[in-house]
Amino acid sequence: MSVTEPSGPHVVASLTLTFDIASIAVSTAVPGVAWALLLGVSWGHPEFAESLGLGRTTFWLLLPGAILASFALLPIVPVSDDILAVSFAGGVFPLLVGALALERIEPALRRIVGRLFLPLGIETAALLGVVGLADDGALATVARSLRIGPWATELGLVTLVASAATAIVVLASRGEGSGARGLAGIFGLTTAVAVLTFAGSTAIPGVGIAEGFPYYLVPPILVGGVAVLLGPRLFPGAPAFALTASFFAAAWGVVLGADVLWQPPLYGTGPAGLYAIGGAGVLDLVYLSAFLGLLGAWGAHRLLRRGFAPVGTPLPPPAPSPGRDLRAAFAMASEGSVTASLTASAAAARGAALEAHRLLGSPVPDPQRPWIGLPVPGWVVSDQANLESMARAGSDQPTEAWRAFATARSLVRLGEAIERPRFASIAERLAAFAVDAALLGVAGAAVFAGIALLTAGGLNALLASVPFNAAIYGFVAIALVYLAAGEHWTGTTVGKALLGLEVRDRALARPGGVAALTRNAPLLPVMTLYAIGLALALAVAMRGIPAGASLGVFGVGAGTLAIVSIGAVVLVGVGLAGTVGIAMIAATRERQRVGDLWADTWVVRRLTRAPRPPSPAAAAARSS
């Protein structure tokens, strides 16, 4: 019996199936690989990652924070009957992380805006103009007469304008120092990603912008590798900044090449819709491209063995974290690293004293004896001195490590007892959140009511309208902006200010932009349910429940049952999320919920309102 090889349509079908499987497998694996990469960089080389602007807080924001922010879409502008928005998960978070990381390359915001963002804005306007010329007008007529298709015409013009813009920016940066050279290099890398992305993307009316597999992997990974190769020239003395540049260039380049240049063909092509930059969240090309750019740069960085020493202006030393040092002491003692464990135990106890001074607002009279000036018994000062002496002398006896660890643990608990009155209580935090939620609710209700008044039809028509749904998404986004911006710029919100509360990091400074967003990302599910419940309640109040078929023996209308069911889900969801948050605050020694743990922040009473610390006897009793 002879066997014949398959040919013709069967081969084509097999290749197509194989290609489709590969596409699904790679697309599914990319987010996991990206998150594993950022996890490895942030935790494997923490000082190096922080110096690049891609530290641990960034990981929490871009992984669980982005997943929780999937419902937060900020409407930007109405276009025809459509509305253009930007997603926090797939758009704002990666773009903002990339932009804020530039501060490590060039600390002056004015220079970043003038030498990077302003030229990018001008280039974007010029590219939109030439894309319009390619689609209409005399230039399009000439292209057709030369048998040049619209796509080739557009790509040629985009490439020409982008090349000219890059040449101008690079020439203008000559002789202006390494900072200007680095920003010019980032401009060129971003433009390259934009052109390559534009070449492989297409607009699908009613769906969005798509870029096929495996092409979408090429621009960011390629530019990441090129950035590392050019790193010594673009960033003299700190070539590792090529990783930061790759993250920025990949994210911003995709926005320019896909979301900006390909958005116009989507509008007015069908029923009204809500189009969002980064709308696919953690599966969006903007989000994934930032990680792919970093992946390409990381691979080249490792191949060239560039090392992991921190780069750029030295970062201020982190504020002591007694709990973290104590855990390190335990781990080192378990591994048999006795001297290292002794050092960590002494650092944990010393950090507890310094943290207590900081939270109480009292100076440290004697840095060599940090417990002096605190309401503690005299033996605490002696115990700290013994720990410091043991750490300096070192040892190879495991019992010494465990004895030091036990002493340090008691001192850390003593410090926690002293500083605990400064932390906001659960009742205060709930009251502050209730005030902020009420303010947001009043503003949201006004917007929902205004849209309802302008929308014709009954309840179903209102709930199906694009502006009404955009307002629900927008409510979640505005709530996040309100909370994060208030805590970043002022250290508080209206609700917290009324209760005398502030958000601070371990140095008692206001949280940075990424930290403020990270801290508030876990609140997004609550704000999402709040937005849905508020909008639904207002819509029912203004439109009434539509008549529906009778269901079951209770004779409940279908519309009534749907409204009641959604309301129950909202109430249960808010209650469950609130219970989890309260439990976290109650269970943690520094009264931190999940967002505080991610961002390493505290909610504290204003110093003028802080209660007096406990007496030495009371503090000692609470620590035992």
| pLDDT tens track for 345-383 | 999 999 999 999 999 998 998 888 999 999 999 899 999
SS3 of 538-596: the string is HHHHHHCCCCCCEECCCCEEHHHHHHHHHHHHHHHHHHHHHHHHHHHHHHCCCCCCHHH
Q: Measured in Å, how far apart are the chain's first and last C-alpha atoms?
A: 86
Tell me what the mean pLDDT of segment 176-180 comes to. 77
Provide the token pair at 500.
Answer: 């005398």
pLDDT at 28: 80
Q: What is the largest CA-CA distance in the chain?
A: 97
Provide the token pair at 300.
Answer: 């080249």
Cα Rg, the chain, nearest whole Å: 29
pLDDT at 601: 96
Enumerate domains of the chain plus CATH numbers.
31-303 (no CATH), 322-419 (1.20.120), 423-623 (no CATH)
* Predicted confidence (pLDDT) at residue 269 exceeds the cutoff of 90: no
Instruction: Return d(Cα 49, Cα 304) in angstroms, integer.
Output: 18
Instruction: Return d(Cα 579, Cα 583) in angstroms, integer.
Output: 6
Instruction: Return d(Cα 455, Cα 132) in angstroms, integer.
Output: 33
* Predicted confidence (pLDDT) at residue 302 exceeds the cutoff of 60: yes
* Predicted confidence (pLDDT) at residue 329 exceeds the cutoff of 90: yes
What percentage of the chain exceeds 90 in pLDDT? Answer: 63
* Predicted confidence (pLDDT) at residue 581 exceeds the cutoff of 80: yes
pLDDT at 162: 95
Helix, strand, coil in percent for the chain, rounding step 5: 70, 5, 25
Cα–Cα separations (whole angstroms), residue 334 to 331, 341, 389, 401: 5, 9, 21, 9
- Spatial CA neighbour of 478 closest among 61, 85, 94, 63: 85
* Predicted confidence (pLDDT) at residue 138 exceeds the cutoff of 60: no
Instruction: Return d(Cα 517, Cα 62) in angstroms, integer.
Output: 10
Tell me what the mean pLDDT of segment 466-489 comes to. 95
Tell me what the mean pLDDT of segment 84-89 comes to. 93
Provide the token pair at 18.
Answer: 């194989």
Instruction: Return d(Cα 359, Cα 505) in angstroms, integer.
Output: 11
* Predicted confidence (pLDDT) at residue 193 exceeds the cutoff of 50: yes
pLDDT at 3: 43
Q: What confidence category does residue 610 fall into, taking pLDDT thresholds of 50, 70 and 90? A: very low
State yes or no: cis peptide before 31, omega within 30 of 0. no
Backbone angles phi, psi at 503, to 5 degrees: -105, 130
pTM: 0.88
* Predicted confidence (pLDDT) at residue 190 exceeds the cutoff of 90: yes
Tokens 């992991």 map to which residue? 308
| Cβ neighbours for 151, distance < 8 A, ≥ 6 positions apart | none
- Length of the chain counted residue by residue: 624
Are 347 and 325 in contact, with CB atoms under 8 Å apart? yes
pLDDT at 176: 76
CB-count exposure of residue 125 (10 Å: 0-12, 13-18, 19+): exposed
SS3 of 490-514: the string is CCCCHHHHHCCEEEEECCCCCCCHH
| pLDDT tens track for 9-26 | 555 566 777 767 877 777
* Predicted confidence (pLDDT) at residue 536 exceeds the cutoff of 50: yes
Are 338 and 396 in contact, with CB atoms under 8 Å apart? yes
pLDDT at 33: 87
Provide the token pair at 169.
Answer: 């920016």
Q: What confidence category does residue 139 fall into, taking pLDDT thresholds of 50, 70 and 90? A: low
Measured torsion, CA atoms of residues 357, 361, 362, 363, in degrees rounded to the nearest 10 = 90
- Spatial CA neighbour of 246 closest among 196, 301, 304: 301
- The one-letter code for the residue type at 385 is A
Q: What confidence category does residue 621 fall into, taking pLDDT thresholds of 50, 70 and 90? A: very low
Instruction: Return d(Cα 565, Cα 182) in angstroms, integer.
Output: 56
pLDDT at 552: 46
Give the DSSP letter string of 400-442.
HHHHHHHHHHHHHHHHHHHHGGGBPPHHHHHHHHHHHHHHHHH
* Predicted confidence (pLDDT) at residue 244 exceeds the cutoff of 50: yes
| Partners of residue 551 on adjacent β-strands | 556
**Range in 294-308, 362-376, 477-491 with the lowest mean pLDDT:** 362-376
3-state DSSP assignment of residue 269: coil
Provide the token pair at 404.
Answer: 């030091």
β-strands 73-79, 556-557: how paired? Answer: unpaired
pLDDT at 130: 84
- Spatial CA neighbour of 573 closest among 531, 521, 545: 531
* Predicted confidence (pLDDT) at residue 609 exceeds the cutoff of 80: no
The b/e string for 259-290 (b: 16+ C-beta within 10 A; e otherwise) is bbbbbeebbeeeeebbbbbbbbbbebbbbbbb
Tell me what the mean pLDDT of segment 503-509 comes to. 94
pLDDT at 623: 44
β-strands 274-277, 208-211: how paired? Answer: unpaired
* Predicted confidence (pLDDT) at residue 394 exceeds the cutoff of 70: yes
* Predicted confidence (pLDDT) at residue 155 exceeds the cutoff of 90: no
Instruction: Return d(Cα 432, Cα 430) in angstroms, integer.
Output: 5
pLDDT at 553: 46
Tell me what the mean pLDDT of segment 209-230 comes to. 92
Q: What confidence category does residue 103 fall into, taking pLDDT thresholds of 50, 70 and 90? A: very high
3-state DSSP assignment of residue 53: coil
Provide the token pair at 383.
Answer: 């115990």
What's the chain's average pLDDT? 87
Instruction: Return d(Cα 356, Cα 468) in angstroms, integer.
Output: 50
